[in-house]
Amino acid sequence: MAIFGKQGLQAGALYLAVIWATYGQKRAGFTKQEQVNKIVGISERKTLAGKKLKGKAYRDEAKSMRAARYANILRAGAARTGGTAGAERYKEYATGEFKTAYEKLGYLR
């Protein structure tokens, strides 16, 4: 403290804290293609857009992707809640109005 004084020491500590906060953070973006592919919604929409389908062909492809996505959601939910209890919990969502309405939509979001 004799060299910097109390305010100089506080300023030095604040400077080091700002430098650490700025450069000591983890990467927030996607660094590899595998990380992007794990995000199903983005990769499915990009795949469908790359096929350059129009009209009915696009809607049919979107419906099939929605059906696969819905099945994956149910499977992941059952696995997350565990075993037979999870399967029973998500059993009611395997059929019904919501499933029909979800798969009927002709676009992906």
Tens-place pLDDT, residues 22-39: 887 777 777 787 777 677
The reported pLDDT for the residue numbered 106 is 67
Q: Is residue 101 part of a domain?
A: yes
Judged by phi (left if over 0) then psi (alpha if -120 to 50, else beta), residue 55 lies in left
Q: Is residue 17 part of a domain?
A: no
CA 12 to each of CA 4, 7, 9, 16, 72: distance values in angstroms, whole numbers, following the listed order: 9, 9, 5, 6, 53
At residue 17 the predicted structure's pLDDT band, cuts being 50, 70 and 90, is: very high
Q: Is residue 54 part of a domain?
A: yes
Q: Can you give the pTM of this predicted structure? A: 0.52
The reported pLDDT for the residue numbered 91 is 76
In the chain, how many domains are there? 1
Contact 89, 81 (CB under 8 A): yes
Give the structural domain span for 74.
39-109
Rounded CA-CA distance 51/59 in Å is 12
Q: Is residue 27 part of a domain?
A: no
